[in-house]
Chain A
Amino acid sequence: MTINWLRTASFRFAALSAVVFALCTLILSVLFYYTVSEGMEQQLRERISTETTQLVGEYSDSGLEELRHDIGERLERAPSPRLIYTLVNAQGVAVFDRLKLPQRDGWSRIPQTGKPDLLLLTTSLDDGFRLGVAANTLSIAEFRQAILRSTLLTLCAVLVLSAVAGRIVSRRFLGRVERLRNIAEQVGTGSLSTRIPLADIGDDFEQLAVTINGMLQRIEDLVHDVQSVSVNIAHDLRTPLGRLRQQMESLEAFQSTEKTRELCSSAIGNLDQTLETFSLLLRIAEMDSATVAIEREQIDLSSLLERLEEIYTPVAEDRGQSLECQVSGDALVQGDQRLLTQMFANLVENAINHNEDGARIQLSVTSDSNVVEAVVADNGVGIPVAMRGEVLKPFFRLDPSRHKPGSGLGLSLASRIAKRHDASMVLADNSPGLRVQLRFHKA
Chain B
Amino acid sequence: MHLLLLEDDRDTADYVVRGFREDGHVIDLAERGEDALMMAAEGDYDTLILDRMVPGFDGLKVLSMLRAGGDTTPAIFLTAVSSVNDRVEGLMVADDYLVKPFAFAELRARVGALVRRPQIKQAPTNLAVGDLEVDLLRRKVYRAGNEVVVQPTEFRLLEYLLSNKGNVVTRTMLLEHVWEFHFDPKTNVVETHISRLRSKIDRGFGKELIQTVRGSGYMIDDDN
Contact = CB atoms under 8 A, between A and B. Distances in A.
B101 to A, nearest CB: 3
Interface residues of B, number: 32
Contact of A249 (B104, B152, B179): B104
Interface in A254-288: 275-276, 279, 282-283, 286
B191 to A, nearest CB: 9
Given A286-B83, A310-B152, A315-B192, A242 B186 contact: no
Contacts of B185: 345, 349
B187 A349 contact: yes
A241 B181 CA distance: 24
Interface string B82-107: 11110010000000000111011000
A353 B84 contact: no
Interface stretch (A73-81, A82-90, A334-342, A355-363): A334-342
How big is chain A's contact interface, by range? Answer: 35 or more
A294 interface: yes
B196 A342 contact: no
Given A246-B12, A279-B82, A314 B193 contact: yes
Contact of B179 (A286, A311, A318, A352): A311
A246 B101 contact: yes
Contact of A341 (B180, B186, B189): B180
A292 interface: yes
A235 interface: yes
A250 interface: yes
B189 A245 contact: no
A405 B100 CA distance: 24
B28 interface: no
A275 B99 CA distance: 11
Interface string B49-85: 0000000000000000000000000000000101111
B153 A310 contact: yes
Nearest to B193: A314
A157 B47 CA distance: 93
Contacts of B83: 282, 286, 292
A310 B154 CA distance: 10
A342 B182 CA distance: 7
Interface string B163-190: 0000000000000000111111111110
A380 interface: no
The winner among A242, A282, A286 for most chain B CB atoms within 10 A is A242
A173 interface: no
Q: Is the interface of A mostly helix, strand, loop or mixed?
A: helix
B192 A318 contact: yes
Interface of B: 11-12, 15, 18, 80, 82-85, 88, 99-101, 103-104, 151-153, 179-189, 192-193, 196
Contact of B84 (A318, A336, A341, A350): A336
A273 to B, nearest CB: 10
Contacts of A341: 180-182
Contacts of A275: 101
Contacts of B11: 243, 246
B15 A235 contact: no
Contacts of B193: 311, 314
Nearest to B85: A292
B187 A352 contact: yes
B206 to A, nearest CB: 25
19 contacts: A245-B101, A246-B11, A246-B12, A250-B18, A276-B184, A286-B84, A292-B83, A292-B85, A295-B84, A310-B153, A311-B193, A318-B192, A337-B180, A341-B181, A342-B182, A342-B183, A345-B181, A345-B183, A349-B185
B84 A338 contact: yes
A245 B153 contact: no
A239 interface: yes
| For the complex of A and B, 6 pairs with smallest distance between CB atoms | A242-B101, A349-B186, A246-B15, A342-B183, A338-B182, A315-B192
Contacts of A315: 187-189, 192
